[in-house]
Amino acid sequence: MLERRFATLDVFTDTPLAGNPLAVVLDAEGLTGEAMQAIAREFNLSETVFVLPPEESRHRARLRIFTPARELPFAGHPTVGTAVLLALRDRAERQAAALVDAAAFGLEEAIGTLACAVEAAEDGRSARARFKLPVLPTYFGEARAKDALAGVLGLKPAEIGFNRHQPSRHGAGPSFTFVPLASGEALTRARLDAGRFERMFPQGQADALYLYALDPEGVGHRYQARMFAPHLGVAEDPATGSAAAAFAGALMQFEPLGEGTHDVVIRQGVAMGRPSTIDLQLVISEGALRSVEIGGQAVVVSEGVLRVG
C-alpha cells in the first residue's frame, strides 16, 4: 500500500470554508482510472484532481479531473486550485521568500494545455491564479423550451429571460444549458426537480443547468449564478469555472459587446452559504471572440496522506 499526498483547498475565495472545495491528489502515478474514480467518490466533492507528470517536460503537470460520478476533460475550479497549490509548493521547496510576479506554467488537461499565472498572497497559504482557455466556447444549439425549464426549476416561464437573454446552450469542454432569470429573487427560489430533469434529457445527453441573473449589488458586467448537475453527481456547485468559461459564449450571443477587453464578475454559491467570486475576461477583436481567461483566488485548507493501492 502506497502513501499519496493530498491537499484540500477552497477555490474562488480567499476565506477557508467558503468558495468551492477541491481535493488534489499528488503523486498520482500508478493509480488506474478506476482507482481515481473511487477516490473521487470517497472525497465526495464536486471535483477531485490527480496530478501526474506532464507529457511535455516544459509543462508543470498533467491533470485528470473527476466528479464523484465521472471524469471531465476540463474544469475551472480544479485548474485554479491546482495551479495555486503547485505554485505554493514550488515556492516552499525553493525556500523563496515570495513567488515571483511572473510565476507561470502550463497544465495539461484532456481539453488541451492551459497557460496559468499565479500571484501569491503574503500569508503563504493562498494565491490568485488565472488561466487562458485553449479552446473558445462552442454553441451547442437551442435550449429546451421555457415551459420545460421552468417546470424543472420550480419557476414560472415568465421568470425566465431578461433583456436580450434567453435560454441557450454553450460549452468549453462540458456543455451547459444557460438559463437567464429575471431577478435575483427567482434565482434564490429556484429548486431542481430531479425527476423532471431526468425525463427532460435523454440518457447520457444531459446538460448541467447554469442559472444566472443580473447582480443588483454591482455595476457593469456583474452576475449572480447557480449550477445544478445531478447527472455528474453534483446536486449544486458553489463555483463552476468551466461554466463561467462557456458563459462567454452566452454573453457574445446576447450582449452588445464592443471591441476590446471586457471584465465580468460572477458571484456563485451564495444560496449554499459558500460565496464564491469568479473573474471572467473576454477579448473581442474585429467582432469575434479571440480569447477567454478565468481567474480567482484559492486557499489551502488541509494537507494529508492517502493510503491506497
pLDDT in tens, 52-70: 999 999 999 999 999 999 9
Cell digits for 235?
446536486
- DSSP 8-state assignment for residue 145: P
Residue in 213, 234, 206, 202 with CA at minimum distance from that of residue 155:
213
Residue 208, SS3 per DSSP: strand
Q: 4 to each of 48, 278, 289, how far by Cα in Å?
A: 14, 30, 41
C-alpha cell at 125: 497559504
Annotation marks residue 47 as catalytic: yes
Choose, from 47, 119, 159, 236, the residue flagged as catalytic: 47
- Cβ atoms of 220 and 281 closer than 8 Å: no
Q: Is the pLDDT of residue 262 over 60?
A: yes
250-253 own/partner pairs: CB under 8 Å, 24+ apart:
250/165, 250/168, 250/170, 250/178, 251/221, 251/282, 252/137, 252/282, 252/284, 252/289, 253/139, 253/168, 253/170
pLDDT score, position 95: 61
Residue 182: name the closest of 190, 192, 194, 171 by CA: 190
Longest dimension (CA), the chain: 58
Burial tier of 260 (Cβ tally within 10 Å: 0-12, 13-18, 19+) = exposed
pTM of the predicted protein model: 0.92
Q: How confident is the model at residue 102 (pLDDT cuts 50, 70, 90)?
A: very low
What mean pLDDT comes out for the span 116-140?
89
Closest CA to 12 of 171, 242, 303: 242
| Residue 90 or 165, more confident | 165
Q: Which residue has the cell 485554479?
A: 80
List pLDDT tens digits, range 133-149.
999 999 998 899 999 99
